[in-house]
Amino acid sequence: MNTVAMNAPAAPRGRFITFEGGEGAGKSTQLARLAARLRRRGLTVVETREPGGSPGAEVVRTAILSGAAKKYGPFAEAMLFAAARADHIAQTIRPALASGAYVLSDRFVDSTRVYQTVFGEVPADALAGLERLTVGDMMPDLTIILDLPVEASVERLRKRGAAPDRFEGEPLERHRAIRDRFLALAAREPGRFAVVDASADEDMVEQVIWSLVEPRFLPAKAPAEPAA
């Protein structure tokens, strides 16, 4: 029996940070910037996304964002999101957190809470049931909402020039409803959410995010020893 291995302390649980918000708010950009800062502090970081984030979930992502699943109705689409999330948690998020890594996800459960009620009108109790089954104890430690006025969001998407996906191509009133619901979630859970103005330049947004993450999760640097 390997006594040393048995007595070795378990790695401390990592931290789980998610990025949410409307289309074009800069989630992918700011996630990558935060990941780079954390790595410069010597931390292990796993960057991921939803829908997707694991091989099985990426297959489901294609079906959802292409619109292929839309014809089966809103509840079927919600079930697909739940299946993808269960695989994502099992294959990517839970193992990474158990190893002590920081997991940064471009969207997670709050996008389902918002988009499935705005687009699919799935009953809230049905979504809550799916959430309990798939997420369990894997709720984020911090959720950063990048908030952007709808008109600015649409302009950013236009400048991208790429064909809109299943959600990007929806009318303005839907995008306004999405923004409102994200802000409502943040108001209900101020301990987990932080709303960041995404209309500022990227460097400023990055600094604001770092000012939220560093004091909350990173140990303070030891003071320098006085010179002899």
Residue-wise pLDDT for 11-37, tens only, equals 678 999 999 998 889 999 999 999 999
Tell me how far CA of residue 183 lies from CA of 51, 197, 203, in angstroms: 21, 12, 23
Higher pLDDT: 150 or 216? It is: 216
Task: Give the amino acid at 39.
Answer: R
Distance CA(66)–CA(165), nearest Å, equals 6
Q: What is the mean pLDDT of residues 146-172?
A: 73
pLDDT one-digit tens code per residue, 177-199: 999 999 999 999 999 999 999 99
Distance CA(150)–CA(170), nearest Å, equals 12
Q: Note the residue count of the chain.
A: 228
pTM for the predicted model, two decimal places: 0.85
Which range of 62-66, 144-148, 218-222 scores highest in mean pLDDT? It is 144-148
Distance CA(218)–CA(104), nearest Å, equals 15
Distance CA(17)–CA(96), nearest Å, equals 12
Distance CA(194)–CA(30), nearest Å, equals 14
Of 221, 202, 217, nearest in space to 16 by CA: 217
- The CB-based long-range contact list for 215-219 (8 Å cut-off, 24+ gap) reads 216/142, 217/15, 217/102, 217/141, 217/142, 218/41
Question: Edge to edge, what strands does the sheet with 142-147 contain?
Answer: 45-49, 102-106, 15-21, 142-147, 193-197
Q: What pLDDT sits at residue 90?
A: 96
Of 200, 191, 217, nearest in space to 34 by CA: 217
H helix or E strand, kind and range, residue 49: strand 45-49
pLDDT one-digit tens code per residue, 57-72: 998 888 877 777 777 7
Of 33, 14, 12, nearest in space to 144 by CA: 33
Confidence of residue 10 (pLDDT cuts 50, 70, 90): low
